[in-house]
Amino acid sequence: MIERFKGMALALLAPLLLVGCAFAPGKFTSTLTILADRSFTFTYQGEVVAIDIAGAMAKGMGDAFKGGDEDKESKTSMTRMLRGAAWKQDVPKIEGKPPAEDDADAREKEAKFKAIAAALEKEPGYRSVTYQGDGVFLIDYALTGKLTHNFLWPYNLDAEVVFPFVVVEMRGSDQVRVKAPAFANTDSPTKGKGGGNAKLDGTFTLVTDGDIVSQNNEAGATRAGGRGTVTWKATPLTKDAPMAVIKVAPLN
């Protein structure tokens, strides 16, 4: 029965294991400026924390293996199976077999995270990426462009970063919607023990000279110099992810 359950679990969790690892914001400051002419600038300075998806899943499934030594052995087997499956989808720069011991696992994780930092540094916008150890990256990012298509950050297939913090999407011909799902403790693969990201600590500021059609900050927007500003505080208690809709120039 246990073996059957393990097989079913791996099949159900396979899509997430393909990701390799997820990322969540730690302590940060981020600003998104969107002008009515569709030009934009996005910045993020601060921590990005790597989440061990396989380990978190195995830990979360531990309640299904309570009891004697046989159940403990099954739980250990499940943990190794999940981490082994995730390992196979690792960053190409890391070679070898899944580590069998915890200390080897830790060393290989550190090597993987350093490879991720190297992959991110090659992407435009990353002014600096420093891996500080223990799954924590210190990032300085700034990118300016034109909103003729959707924008999301972070996203890097080489580094297996696919859970975006901020998404800007086209809404019709003359509106854009901003959402920042990672800046709140909503349901996601990056949720930690206790149901949230305990390291979440930052501010996300939206600046625009366009009309703010809607936004979900109770404090509302302030206006100065012809621009509106909305600032959200992100903490472990934040439940509603920042969201706003802005009117911009129609696409040509």
Tokens of 7: 């097989």
- Per the prediction, the chain carries an average pLDDT of 78
Buried b (16+ CB within 10 A) or exposed e, 204-223: bebbbbbebeebebeeebee
Residue 104 pLDDT:
81
Least confidently predicted of 39-43, 67-71, 114-118: 67-71
User: What is the structure's pLDDT at 21?
Assistant: 67
Would you say residue 75 has pLDDT above 50? no
Pairing assessment for the beta strands 166-171 and 136-146 based on DSSP bridges: unpaired
| Over residues 27-36, mean pLDDT | 98
pLDDT at 220 over 60: yes
Q: How distant, in Å, are the alpha carbons of 38, 59, 76 from that of 42?
A: 13, 36, 43
Are the beta carbons of 139 and 153 closer than 8 angstroms?
A: no
Predicted model pTM: 0.75
Nearest to 212 by CA among 178, 184, 180: 178
Higher pLDDT, 237 or 16: 237
The residues, any chain, with a CB within 8 Å of residue 97's CB and separated by 6 or more, are 87
Please check the confidence at residue 17 and state whether its pLDDT lies above 60: no
Bridging pattern class, strands 22-34 and 201-208? parallel
pLDDT at 70 over 50: no
pLDDT tens figures, 107-158:
888 998 999 899 899 899 999 999 999 999 999 999 999 999 999 999 876 6
Does the pLDDT at position 227 exceed 80? yes
Residues 168-211 have pLDDT tens digits of 999 999 999 999 999 998 655 445 444 568 899 999 999 999 99
